[in-house]
Chain A
Amino acid sequence: MNGPGLLTLLVLCPAVGLAVILAIPGRFPKAIKVASALTGLATLLVTGLIYAKFDPAAAGKQLLEQVPWIPAVGIEWHNGVDGISLPLLVLTAIVFFTGVLVMWELKERVKEYFAFMTLLVTGVFGVFVSLDLFFFLFYYELAVLPMYLLIAVWGSTRKEYGAMKLTLYLLAGTALVVPAALAVYWAAGLNTFDLVRLGTVHYGHTFQIVVYPFLFVGFGILAGMWPLHTWSPVGHVAAPTAVSMLHAGVLMKLGAYGILRVAMPLLPEGAHYWMLATAILATVNIVYGAFVALSQTDLKFVIGFSSVSHMGIVLLGLSTMSQDGINGAVFQMFSHGIMTALFFAAVGYIYDRYHTRDMTRLGGLSKYVPVASAFFIVAALCGAGVPGFASFWAELLVFLGTLKTFPVLAWIVVLALVVTMAYSMRAIVVGFFGAPHEELHHPADISLFLSLPRAILVAVLLVLGFYPRLMLDIIDPATRALIGVLK
C-alpha cells in the first residue's frame, strides 16, 4: 500500500488554491487572479510530473495511492491513473489554466467566481484520479454543483433558466447513478467501494442487464446523450466564457469517463447487451446535433449543438467496445475538450467586444479582428474534421471501430460529416467573412496576453493533429487492458 503522492497533490492543488483565494480579501481582484493563474500553473506542473512518471508501456493503473478512510463500509482514499485518465488530467489542467487567463478581464465578484471555479476543478481532478467508487461519486457531485452558481450569477441569456435546467438534469443523472452504484456495492458483497476489487466480481447476467442502463443513462446525461442533451446547449449559452470552456471541455467528459471507468468494466455483459441500443442513440446524437447546429444563429448555440454531435462520437466509440473505437473515444474526449474550449474562448472575446453572438448581426469580423477571428476559424475547421487537427484522428479511429461493429451506423455518421462541414462553413462565412454590418462598432484586435491562452489551445490541437501517437501511445495499452476485461 502506497501513501498519498502526486495524485493527492494534484487534487490538493486547486483545493489549496481555493483556500488562498478565500483568504485574499475581495478588494484585491488582481491578487485573486494571479493566485488562480498560479493554481492553474501548479496543476499543469503536477500533471506534467505525473506524465513524466507515467510509463506508457506498462498496462494497468499506476502511481497508486491507497489509504483506508472508513473501513466499516470499505471507503478508501484510493487513487491511480492509467492511459485513459492521464489524457483527461492533462486536458483538465490545460483548460483550467487557459480558462483563468481567458477570464482575466472579469470585474464582477472576482473572488467568488474564481473560488467556485477552483472548487469545480478540484472535483474534476478528483473524479479522474479516484479508484474508489465513493470518492468518484463525491467528486462527481462536487464538480457539478458549482456550475449552478457560476451560470446563475455570472451568465447571460436566460441564465437562471439555463442554470436550473442544467442542475436538474444533472441531478436526475445522479439519481440514476447512485442507486445503481449502491446496487453494485451490495451485489458484490465485498464491503468495499474499491473499483478495482469491484471489477473482479462477476455479477449476475440479469443484474447486469438491469443495472447497466441506469449507469449508462445517468452518466450519459452529463455526456450530452440524446434525447437528454437539451440542458447542455442552453447551459453553454448561458454560462460565462471560462465556465463554458470547463463545462463543454471537461465536465461533459466526466459523463463519458463514468461510463468508461464504472459502467463498462463493472458490468461488461450489460454493456454487451445494450451496445447496439447505445450505438444507435450515439448515432442520433451525431446526426441530430449536426442538423440542429445548421439552423442556429447564436454562435454559442452552434457550438453547443456541435458539442452534442461530437460527444456522440465519443459515445459511439465506447459503444463499439473495440480497441479502435475506445481509443478514438478517449482521444476524442481530449481533442474535443481542447477544441471546444478554444471555440468558447474565441466566441467569448467576440461577445465581450461586440455584445452579440448572433452571426447574422456580425459578419466580416476577419477584416477587423483578424487574430481573434482566426481562433474561431481554427476551432471550426477542427470541428469540421479537417486533418492537421487532433479531432481528425480521433474521429477516424471511432469510424474504423464502428465500421467493424456496426457498418451501417458507420456509413451514416461518415455521411453526416457533410452536414458538419456545412454548419462549420456557415458559421465561418456568415460570421467572419463577407461585409461587416454597418452598425457594428469594431474594437481593437485581441491583445497578445489574451491571445496566449487561445494560442496554447491551438498549439495542442496542431501538435496532436500532426503526430497523434503522442497521445495514442498512452491510450492504447489502457484500452487493451479494458478490452481484456470486457471480453
Chain B
Amino acid sequence: MTGTVLAALAAQAAPLLACALILIFLRGRPRVAAGTAIAALTVSFAAAAFLVWQVAVPNTASVSQTLWLPVQGGAGLAFGVILDPLAVTMALVVAAITLAVMVYSTGYMRGDPGFARYFGFLALFGWAMLGLVLASNLLQLLVFWELVGLASFLLIGFWFEREAPAAAARKAFLMTRVGDVGFLLGVLLLIRALGVATIPDVLAAATSSAPGFTVPLVAFLLLMGVVGKSAQGPLFTWLPDAMEGPTPVSALLHSATMVAAGVFLVARLHPLFAAAPGVMQGLLWLALVTALASATMAMVANDIKRVLAYSSISQLSYMLMALAAGSVAAGFFHLTTHAGFKALLFLSSGIFIHHAHSNDMREIAGHEPLSQKAGVIGLVAGSLALAGVIPFAGYFSKEMVLGAMGERVGGVVLALAYLGAGLTAYYTFRMVFLTLRGQTPRRQEARDIAPAAHVAGHEEHFSAAAHAAMAWPVLALAALTLVLGYLGGFFATRLSPALPHEGPFHVGGGALVALALVAAGIALAWYEFGRAGALRLGFAERVPALKSFFGDNWYLDRLYKATVIRWTLALSRAAKWNDHTVLDGASDGVAQGTVWGGRILSMVQNGFVQAYVAVAISVVAALGIWLTRTGGLP
C-alpha cells in the first residue's frame, strides 16, 4: 500500500473514529468532544493536502480497491479509493471547510446542551463527504451519498425539539430521497449491464457504448439524484427550509458538502454524461431556469439565511450549466471558489445573527452596530465574491463558467446566464445594504420573519475566546476569496477537457459585459437600498403578486401539498382502510361464518328423540318413494 492510499484512508478513518468516540463515550464531555473532532479533521486536512501535493500537482491518477460485494455475473464489486486531481482537490476543499466550520462552531454553539452531539454529527458529515469524494466505485459513492444525506438530516434537525427544524430535516431527507431512487436505479442498471461499477470502467464503457447499456437512460437516472442533492429544478424547495439548522451547519451544507455532492458527481462522471447530449441539453435548461428562478426568490427574501440559500441554488445552477456545456474545469472551479465564499458568507452572517438574535436583515440593521469587525469584513468580502466583482474569487470562476458556455452553447441560454449574473449582484448587494445600513426599517413586517435560529441554552454573553473562535475562520476565508481566484489555470490544465486559459486577468468582451451587468445590479441595489433616504423596498417587492410568488418558492411547495403529497396520503389511507376493513373483514367474516355455521348445524342435535325419529322416518320414506319412482326397486 502506497503512501497516498494510506493518506486517503487516514483522511476518512479519522473523522469516522472521532464520530464514534464522541457519540458513544464523549456525549457528556463537550470540550473533549470538540477537541477530538477538530483533531480528526486536522488529520484529514493534512492528509488531503499531502494528496494534493502528491497527486494533483504532478497530475496523476490511480485506483486501488478490494472486493466488497459479490454479485452475479462478474468479479464482484470492489471498493477503494480513486486518486486523481478532481478527487483530491475536492477532498482538500471538504476538509478545509469542515475544519473552519468546526473551529467557528466552538464559539457559535458554546453552551448548547447538545454541543458534543453536534460535533459528533459534524465529524460524521466530514467522513461521509470525504468518503464520497474519494470513492472509486459508483455504488460506494452512492453509499456515502446517502450518508451525507443522513448527516444533513441529523444536523438540519439538530434542534429537533422545535417543530420547524424537525420538519425541515424530514423534508430534506425525503425530497433528496425522491432524486436518490433515480440514482439507485441508475447504478443498478449499470451494475446489471456491466457487472462492475468502478468509476473508470464505467466511464470507459459509456464512451465505447458497450452493449446492453443505455447511456441516456442511465445518465438521466443519475441526474435525478443530482437534481435532488444539489437542490435544482422541481426538487429545490428543501434547501431554503434547511436554514432551520444551526448557521455553521448551513455554511457546511451549502459550500463543500451535501449540495456540492451533486455537482461533484456530474464532474466525476462527466464522460458518461457527455455521451448523452440530449440529457445534458435538458440539464442545461433546467439549471438555467433554476438559476433565474432562485435569483428572483433571493430578491424578495428578508431572512438573511434564505437569501444565501437561494443564492446557493443559483450558483449551483451555474456550476451545472458549465458542466452541461462540457467544461469540468469551469464547473469545478466555480464549486471550489463558491465553497470558500459561501462558507464565508454564512459564517459571517452567523456573527450578525448571534449578535442581533434574529435572521431578519431589517432587524439586524435596526440592532446596535456590531462591535466586531470580522463579521462586516466577511460579509462584504463574501458578497463581492458572490456578485463576481474583480478581483474576488467569484469573478474568475464565474468568468470561466460564462466563457465555457459562450464557447459551447451561445444564444439565448448565454444571454440569460449573463442576466442571472446581474441579478446575483443585485440581490447580493440588497442583502449587504439591508444588513449593514443601520437605519430604522421603514416598514416592519414582523409576521413573515422566520424565528431566529437560536434556542435557549446559549450563553448570553460571549467570552473573548468565543469571539476569536468565530472571527478567525471568517478572516481566513475572507483572505481566501482573494487567493482562490488565481487557481483557474490549475483547474484548466488538470480537469479534462482542457480549456484555453489566458491567465486570470485576461479580459475579453464577455468579461466586460459581465462586469457591466454586475455594476448595474449593484447600482440598482444601492439606489433602492443603500443611498440615504432610499425606500429600502426592491422593485419586485413593490408588486404584491410577485412578492408572494417569489417569496413562496414559486408556489411549488403548495403545489406538492395539493397534489403529490395529498394523493400519496389518500392512497395510504385507502390502503389502511382496505387492510382493516376489507381484508380483516373477510377473515373475521370467515370466522363468524364458521361460528354461525356451527350454530345452525348444532340445531340438528337438539336432544329431542321425537325429532330424531321424525327425521329418520321422513328420510327413509323419501328414499323409498324416490327409489320406487325411478324404478330402482323391483
Instruction: Spell out A's residues near B (CB within 8 Å).
Output: 165, 168-169, 227, 230-231, 234, 288, 291-292, 294-296, 305, 322-324, 327, 364, 366-367, 381, 386-388, 392-393, 396-397, 399-401, 403-404, 410-411, 414-415, 417-419, 421-422, 425-426, 428-429, 432-436, 467-469, 472-473, 476
Contact = CB atoms under 8 A, between A and B. Distances in A.
Contacts of B467: none
A231 B584 CA distance: 9
Interface string B149-178: 010000001001111001101100110011
Nearest to B159: A433
A473 B69 CA distance: 9
Contacts of A367: 160-161
Contacts of A388: 143, 146-147, 150
B287 to A, nearest CB: 24
Nearest to B177: A421
A386 B576 contact: no
B591 interface: yes
In the A-B complex, the 8 residue pairs with the closest CB atoms: A433-B166, A433-B160, A294-B572, A291-B575, A387-B143, A295-B576, A323-B72, A295-B572
A467 B191 CA distance: 19
A327 B77 CA distance: 15
B134 to A, nearest CB: 16
Nearest to A411: B185
21 contacts: A168-B591, A230-B584, A288-B575, A294-B572, A295-B572, A295-B573, A296-B576, A364-B161, A367-B160, A387-B143, A387-B144, A388-B147, A399-B184, A400-B72, A417-B181, A418-B177, A425-B170, A425-B173, A434-B160, A434-B163, A435-B163
Given A292-B579, A366-B160, A388-B150, 16 more contacts: A292-B576, A381-B150, A387-B142, A392-B143, A399-B188, A403-B189, A403-B192, A410-B185, A414-B188, A418-B177, A418-B181, A419-B568, A422-B568, A433-B166, A435-B161, A476-B70
Contacts of A415: 181
A483 to B, nearest CB: 9
Contact of A386 (B146, B573, B591): B146
Contacts of A392: 143, 146
B587 A230 contact: yes
A314 to B, nearest CB: 18
Given A401-B72, A425-B170, A414 B572 contact: no
A327 B169 CA distance: 34
Contacts of A401: 72
A246 B157 CA distance: 33
B484 to A, nearest CB: 33
Contacts of B192: 400, 403-404
B603 interface: no
B167 A414 contact: no
B68 A468 contact: yes
B67 interface: yes
A295 B569 contact: yes
B71 interface: yes
B581 to A, nearest CB: 11
Contacts of A366: 160-161
A168 B587 CA distance: 10
A375 to B, nearest CB: 13
Contacts of B143: 387-388, 392
B622 interface: no
A418 B572 contact: no
A49 B403 CA distance: 67
Nearest to A374: B23
B583 interface: yes
Contacts of A381: 150
B20 to A, nearest CB: 9
Contact of B191 (A364, A393, A400): A400
Interface of B: 67-72, 139, 142-144, 146-147, 150, 157, 160-163, 166-167, 169-170, 173-174, 177-178, 181, 184-185, 188-189, 191-192, 568-569, 571-573, 575-576, 579, 583-584, 587, 591
B173 A421 contact: yes
Contacts of B68: 467-469
A428 B72 CA distance: 36
B71 A324 contact: yes
Given A324-B71, A417-B177, A469-B68, A292 B166 contact: no
Contacts of B181: 414-415, 417-418
Given A230-B584, A433-B157, A294 B569 contact: yes
B72 A230 contact: no
Nearest to A227: B583
> Interface residues of A: mostly helix, strand, loop or mixed?
helix
A327 B170 CA distance: 32
Contacts of A305: 579
Nearest to B164: A434
B161 A397 contact: no
Contacts of B150: 381, 386, 388
A231 B583 CA distance: 10
Contacts of B146: 386-388, 392
Nearest to A164: B591
Nearest to A395: B184
Contacts of A425: 170, 173-174
Contacts of B189: 403
Contacts of B144: 387
Nearest to B573: A295
Contacts of B162: 434-435
Nearest to A325: B72
Given A366-B160, A367-B161, A429-B166, A292 B575 contact: yes
B185 A291 contact: no
Nearest to A226: B583
B245 to A, nearest CB: 13
Contacts of B157: 429, 433
Contacts of B170: 425-426, 428-429
Nearest to A465: B143
Nearest to A168: B591
Most chain-B CB neighbours within 10 Å: which of A292, A305, A322?
Answer: A292
B166 A434 contact: yes
A294 B572 CA distance: 6
Contacts of B188: 396, 399-400, 403, 410, 414
Contacts of A432: 160
B604 to A, nearest CB: 25
A469 B67 contact: yes
Contact of B161 (A230, A296, A434): A434
B116 to A, nearest CB: 12
Contacts of A168: 591
A332 to B, nearest CB: 14
B572 A292 contact: yes
Given A366-B160, A404-B192, A291 B572 contact: yes
Nearest to B582: A227
Contacts of B142: 387
B414 to A, nearest CB: 36
A433 B169 CA distance: 10
Contacts of A435: 161-163
A469 B576 CA distance: 38
Nearest to A367: B161
A414 B139 CA distance: 15
Most chain-B CB neighbours within 10 Å: which of A294, A399, A429?
Answer: A429
A419 B181 CA distance: 11
Contacts of B591: 168
Most chain-B CB neighbours within 10 Å: which of A230, A288, A403, A410?
Answer: A230
A145 B202 CA distance: 53
B571 A291 contact: yes
Given A381-B150, A433-B161, A417 B575 contact: no
Nearest to B575: A291
B45 to A, nearest CB: 24
Contacts of A417: 177, 181, 184
B222 to A, nearest CB: 14
Contact of B568 (A292, A294, A322): A294
B557 to A, nearest CB: 16
